[in-house]
Structure 1
Amino acid sequence: MNQNFDILIVGGGAAGFFTAINIVEKDPKIKVAILERGSEVLGKVRVSGGGRCNVTHACFEPNELVKFYPRGEKELRGPFHQFCSGDTIEWFEKHGVELKIEEDGRMFPVSNSSQTIIDCFLKATQKLGIAVLTGQSVQSIFKKDNFWKVETQSENYIAEKLVLATGSNPKIWEMLQQQGHAIVSPVPSLFTFNIKDSRIKELPGVAAQVTVKVKDTKLTSTGPLLITHWGMSGPAILKLSAWGARILFDKNYQFTIFVNWLNDVDAEDAEKVLKTLKQEHAKKAVSKKSPFDFPNRLWESLVLASNIETETKWADLSKVQIQNLANQLTNGTFQVNGKSTFKEEFVTAGGIDLKEINFKTMESKLHENLYFAGEIVNIDAITGGFNFQNAWTSGFIVANAI
């Protein structure tokens, strides 16, 4: 038996739900079903932002917002002019969910719980009569006459329009390749760096504002860096991993980074500062107190790495020791050996080639009545609510087009 709907949405995540709700709110007569392969919907929403759900980012200017997307920057400009972060806030407020802005620009529900977002979506789908069908793992997709036919392991579905919102699901990408779509092969994005180094071994939990560069590439990033038990994390590193997703994959995650703990001060200027300190603090021990804006423990470690003993006084520093220290401060070389996934917020670079999508409608350029929403396409962002914003924007555009 075939089950008939006007629109089938494959994928019960953020993008799938947002698309479905917006379609039926615009036209209550449309019969919509969401197919989800798991036993539960909205799993990624639940774990996002440490269980608080980082809904979007307080960046309200489309031309600024696109800069957070290593893949999709050019393509998202038009879509963000149609539906941006401000529209997201308004949409959720209309649906009874108030959002708040945190210091770093990330936005969360005032309730601090991702359950608020899940409840909002489930309530809306119930109210609008959207069928949410779990345990429906898609086995095949094909076009028959003017209809799309979707077979799961237990049912057959037929619909005039098909929306794929399956995130980075390789099985669905394979089916699309059979339909002639090009898939950019997936590689991880948003990961932390594994580094074994005596300078940071005893410093888990220490953070500093830095500039990081990857040797032999143009990759560079500025922001907070966090030292962890396995190496380095924090926004500066995660940004680097997103912008460098392909390059670092090709290097098999074995590469060298340069860390400037003084952010934008170069070695020459650092030397001048150190010479001044030598004058001013002549009788004090160098390693005791950090003269810079980062923790004492880190300072002490960099002093020791510069061949300066714990009790050495500023007055006794040699020219070579000052050079060594300036170098450790502004150009620390660290060997990266592998990566670790960042929390549960696993993001993949890769997906449907952006050239094959009409970004005014999110419709496939190859097949009529086939639409895409969310991370199934080759778009991804750095951490901070940007991946969700792509889900809301693309879902909204699909709903409008339909």
Structure 2
Amino acid sequence: MTRSEATPLTIAYTATSAEPGVNIAALTDALTHHANSALFPGDGEVTLVVQGRAPVTFDLTPMRGDQIEADMHKKAEQINDQLNHMLAEVAAHSEILEASTNGLDVLGVYDQAIAATPQGGEIVMVTSGLSTTDPVDLDAAGDWQLNPSGFVAQINPRDIPDAQGRSITWTGLGQTSTSHAAGTTDPTSTRARPNSQQANKKLHTQHAPGPAARQALHDLWLNLCETSGASSCTIDDSLLPATPTTATNRVPVIEFDQVTTNCLGTFTLAADIAFSPNSADLTQAADKLLAPIADALATCPDGRRINAYGHTAEVPGSGDGIGLSTARATNVLARLQQLGAPRNTIGIPTGYGDTRPTVDNTPNGAYREDLARLNRTVELTITN
């Protein structure tokens, strides 16, 4: 094997006051695997990138003198010791794991992580994805939830970093800080935190996005990742353990209580909000999401049409879900017409069942309900 076969690893955090605190211990398995894969000195290096901070590198490579430790037992002990040392260092200097610039700059952190990672390397992006800085300012982008791919297409290509040759994993999308509200004061001090109401009355705790907004975040960042030329783009929806944030940077709040729409685009309706369990019966909550779309369709130019595509999760022993997904798509289009969408804007319902999943909800053959929820959707697409 040659030296070029090593796989560099970078873990990048936005780590703002609007998100859970950094918990590197939650990535112990990934870090241990990385160190175990070391073939040459330095292969076990891990680079930490945090918004506004200079990258920090730790070497987890298990060594015996100037050679890789060959004894498996001693190798495991060394990796454990190196990892504990890394955790102790970041605990002693916790400020390096807190964003030092205002806003939530996902694209900037992504760019910095790419710069710190040679081609062939892996990047783990730990972020809520709720970017508030140009050119991905979701605080100012009214229709990003309806058409995330269209939003990405409007970004100047020169503002998207070149991720060619890197494998990207996104985790934490949609997770916000709830244990330490961004609009509170330090309980051990009378000094107001920069995100406190005393410091800026316009800044409040960031509410967690619902299923539809989380799906839009997934679509947005996967689309941008693919546009950046990464060799692979995946989402890990296993939740990182929530920890209180100690970051004090100022982050605008993104609102999710209104669904904005226009006459072109895509909106994903989460089944756990829109339908009764295992049913195609619409809930009252569905109207809050469908009414703005129906209103928009009533004012759209001639020729606009909305199609519905139903999706279900893979549930072992429960069939392919095509019948249920078709019924859900059909009922959504019918309800849009009842809410005022012109008949000539109503398109075709299609049920894909579990044949086109957003994520694999049976990884390694084990069914996971948290992932299954992400696959139970009706996708609405307005075209001309």
Normalised by the length of structure 2, the TM-score is 0.23
Q: Kindly indicate whether structure 1 or structure 2 has the higher relative contact order, using CA contacts under 8 Å at least 6 residues apart.
A: 1
Structure label with greater radius of gyration? 1
Whose strand proportion is higher, 1 or 2?
A: 1
